[in-house]
Structure 1
Amino acid sequence: MRELEAHVARALALVAPLPGEAHSLASALGLTAARDHVARHASPPFDNSAMDGYAVRASDVQGATHASPVVLPVAGETAAGAPPGVVRAGHAWRIMTGAPMPDGADAVVPVESTDGGLTEAAVTASVDEGRHVRRAGEDARPGDVIVHAGRRFTAARLGALAAVGVETVDAVRTPRVAVIATGDELVDVGDDLASGQIHDSNSVLLAGLLREAGAKPIVMARVGDRPAELLARMTAVDADLVVTTGGVSVGAFDVVKEALAARGVEFVRVAMQPGKPQGLGTVDGTPTVCLPGNPVSVLVSFAAIVAPMLRRLRGDGDGGLDWGGRATETAVVGDGWAVPPGRRQFMPVRFTDVGTVVPATLGGSGSHLIAGLAAAEALADVPAGTERVAPGDTVSLMRWSG
């Protein structure tokens, strides 16, 4: 069997960051920077007051105290957005937070350290030169990198770019991912089930997972257990990545394996549970991932294999075995469970009232237990070689909710 890390490395080798495209700040949230984005102008763009108070020359108020205030005539006032004034020696200038510093002033006395006078101000505390003054460019200067290539455009980063005059950004194009579910047993959700039929939950599951990972799903019509039908569907794909479900094991009707093995897709057993049977390769130049058909296997395979590929397509780093790029965490186990020999296990778990984790279903990590995922809040990542997870053990988690 192939180790999971080796399989992920092969998957990542199939994809590269997509090209950038121009976006307004309003449309870039959640996308990834395709290049470094630099400041157009300084932040702050001019020296301004950090306090409501009086702009002064610091030397004019040295020694001021409550017992012995320094009284200065008020020469004028400036609010935020107004042009700067001019302060002569021995005078004060009433100023509001964010207003430009008047020429000649080198400090601001907070209004709390004065009597708040309008024509003259009694200053009751001295200030040093530069006190309560925001200097032009102290936050950023023109040409400074504000958002580096490969970083996600968060609200804070977009706000920072707006503050330094950046109007549009270059963001990596959103990956388009085609989803093809296979199997004669599948019917639409909501249809009555005949004997042997099941609802197509994988298409719904994958479409949601792709949207959560920042990709655009293209859910294609299902394919029955006929290789020619799958090949015809594949020729109609216009996507950056294709993900199929079902038909990858050793059964008599494994349509995906039968159709694609001769076209360069490699079908292997990966040392993970659930999700052991996997397919990986390119079809007509399009990277293709072939996942098992059981829903829990689909979810685990997406977390371990597809999500890192999406992060690379998005220019969001090489990824790793973490859910959608989110940091892993650890938790203490409440109820233990068995681990299959020789395979890395991903157990759906939920949190208890006391903060421990327990299996989300009575059936453990069975790959068919899709309903149990409604209660699951994370996947416990158990290393290969572990014989059993016992109460009190600490496990690594990949959380996708809560």
Structure 2
Amino acid sequence: MSCTLENHRTELEALLRPVFNSLGTQVLPVASAELCDKVTSEDLFAALPIPAFTNSQMDGYAARSADLLAASSTTPVTLPLGFTAAAGDRQIPLQHGTVSPVMTGAMIPQGADTVIPVEESVLGTFPQLVRAGQGTASGHAQFTAPSAPGRFIRPVGVDLEAGALVASAGTRLTPTMIAALASSGLREIPVRRTLTVALCTTGDELGGDNPAEGQIPDANSPMLAALLRRYGVEVRTAQLPDDPDRFAAAIDQLQEHVDLILTVGGISAGAYEVVRQALAGRGGNFHHVAIQPGGPQGFAALEHSVVLCFPGNPVSALLSVELFLTPLLRVFNGLPEPQPEHFPLAQTVSSPEHKHQVRRALIRDGQVTILDPGSHLVHDLARADALVHIPVGVSELAAGQSVEIWRMNV
């Protein structure tokens, strides 16, 4: 008896959740090339505020706003220059009745509460500047307007206060989030350890570089490995023998070294179905899911690993991974769910009423053209733009009817 798509998803989620939770933590430097797209394993709190100190937003003059209240175009205010505050310098004091030239990102001198952009001064450019310890400050600057308190000043912690949450557990580390971690003073970042998967193809029909008569190239290994690596999975590929005892021995070796094993092929109801033969007596659960393609499905919980068993036709294999594994990988990796779009159908489409059919489609001229459902059509799979789900209970979709599509091959 078939189980539903939703029920099989629930079964696999319950099976895989402990696998994800047991991966543990690795610590990477914030500058590590491996950090991008990793997922935080715990809440991370700021060691420093952002910005770390009150600084200037502009190249200009740091001043006391009270000293400029009387400034106007007819009565300019002239103030002598103090030392210059450059980016990276320690904070300097602002002497009463003076202004200090200040560069973008430099600490605001102690006592200053406003910054006047240099182009708003009467001269419009800086005169000769002197930093503290490098000589005697001289010269003056003139201003023809007041400058409000807080103008062009970035207060300490205005973006994030020290001790505040930077990233919660389960956050995917984008380049911008890495910048936030670094700016908040974090140097060692705890992230979830990478999921390791053994991707195992089966079948004597799979040839090597030069397939013999009756053999075919192995398309599943490179296709599924590439898909899984998009989700940050470490993939090891293996072609296992079509002998139940040797297959079981190979699986036992693999489970000592990986978190998850995926098998492709060998689970149908026919003869020579090596995966079913090897795992049925070891807690393997094999049944038919009411989907097309990809109906045969299976799984097993071994002593050290979990095995997901997918059918061997390339379309069925890919859609099985897309339907049952990648949704869990998106959650695990903090990735957003894909959003459906709506387009009218270019043609009438029929579907088996008792199955959830997943069809590949092309989007052309604002319409959806449904492709042949065959599970062996690898090139059609490669050129498809989208997937269309036709649920159980629907036997026909009419031309012009609006349908939901999910983008693929992007």
Same fold (TM over 0.5): yes
Who is 1:321 aligned against?
none
User: Is 1:155 aligned to residue 175 of structure 2?
Assistant: yes
Q: Distance in 2 between matches of 1:36 and 1:111?
A: 43
Q: Distance in 1 between matches of 2:346 and 2:70?
A: 69
Offset of 1:356 from its aligned partner?
3.4
Q: Is 125-134 or 341-350 further displaced after alignment?
A: 341-350
Residues 86 and 103, structure 2, Cα contact 8 Å, conserved in 1: yes
Who is 1:320 aligned against?
none
- Residue identity over aligned pairs, in percent, reads 35
Who is 1:130 aligned against?
150
Who is 2:235 aligned against?
217
Offset of 1:365 from its aligned partner?
2.3
Q: Distance in 2 between matches of 1:89 and 1:202?
A: 76
After TM superposition, the structure 1 = structure 2 runs for residues 232-247 of structure 1, keeping only pairs within 5 Å, are 232-237=249-254, 238-247=257-266
Structure 2 unpaired stretches of 5+ = 128-138
Who is 1:19 aligned against?
24
Match of 1:186 among 173, 197, 206: 206
**Shift in alpha-carbon separation, 1:261–1:62, aligned structure 2, 3 A:** same
Q: Is 25-34 or 287-296 further displaced after alignment?
A: 25-34
Offset of 1:67 from its aligned partner?
4.3
Q: Distance in 2 between matches of 1:81 and 1:229?
A: 66
Secondary structure, in 3 states, of the residue corresponding to 2:246? helix
CA deviation string 1:188-240 (max 9, x = no partner): 2x31340x32211111212111111211111113322x221221111111211
Q: Distance in 2 between matches of 1:334 and 1:7?
A: 29
After TM superposition, the structure 1 = structure 2 runs for residues 294-333 of structure 1, keeping only pairs within 5 Å, are 294-311=313-330, 315-316=332-333, 325-333=336-344
After TM superposition, the structure 1 = structure 2 runs for residues 2-401 of structure 1, keeping only pairs within 5 Å, are 2-15=3-16, 16=18, 17=21, 18-25=23-30, 26=32, 27-115=34-122, 116=124, 118=127, 119-188=139-208, 190-194=209-213, 196-224=214-242, 226-237=243-254, 238-311=257-330, 315-316=332-333, 325-336=336-347, 337-352=349-364, 354-359=365-370, 361=371, 364-401=372-409
Counterpart amino acid of 2:206?
Answer: L
Offset of 1:293 from its aligned partner?
0.8
Q: Distance in 1 between matches of 2:319 and 2:277?
A: 24
**Shift in alpha-carbon separation, 1:201–1:66, aligned structure 2, 3 A:** same
Residues 343 and 404, structure 2, Cα contact 8 Å, conserved in 1: no
Offset of 1:63 from its aligned partner?
4.8
Counterpart amino acid of 1:208?
Answer: A
Residues 289 and 306, structure 1, Cα contact 8 Å, conserved in 2: no
CA deviation string 1:269-307 (max 9, x = no partner): 112221111002212341111101110011110011122
Residues 43 and 138, structure 1, Cα contact 8 Å, conserved in 2: yes
Residues 12 and 308, structure 1, Cα contact 8 Å, conserved in 2: no
Secondary structure, in 3 states, of the residue corresponding to 1:5? helix
Offset of 1:358 from its aligned partner?
2.4
Q: Distance in 2 between matches of 1:279 and 1:257?
A: 8
Residues 343 and 405, structure 2, Cα contact 8 Å, conserved in 1: no
**Shift in alpha-carbon separation, 1:285–1:92, aligned structure 2, 3 A:** same
Q: TM-score, normalising length from structure 1? A: 0.90
Secondary structure, in 3 states, of the residue corresponding to 2:281? helix
Runs of 4+ in 1 over 6 A off after TM superposition: none
CA deviation string 1:300-350 (max 9, x = no partner): 1001112234346xx436xxxxxx754223131442332221222222223
Residues 180 and 223, structure 1, Cα contact 8 Å, conserved in 2: no
Counterpart amino acid of 1:365?
Answer: P
Q: Distance in 2 between matches of 1:4 and 1:124?
A: 73
Offset of 1:161 from its aligned partner?
0.7
Residues 186 and 199, structure 1, Cα contact 8 Å, conserved in 2: yes
Residues 331 and 356, structure 1, Cα contact 8 Å, conserved in 2: no
Secondary structure, in 3 states, of the residue corresponding to 1:162? helix
Q: Distance in 1 between matches of 2:391 and 2:58?
A: 56
Q: TM-score, normalising length from structure 2? A: 0.88
Q: Distance in 2 between matches of 1:398 and 1:291?
A: 22
Counterpart amino acid of 2:246?
Answer: E
Secondary structure, in 3 states, of the residue corresponding to 2:239? coil
Matched residue count = 387
Secondary structure, in 3 states, of the residue corresponding to 2:262? strand
**Shift in alpha-carbon separation, 1:401–1:120, aligned structure 2, 3 A:** farther
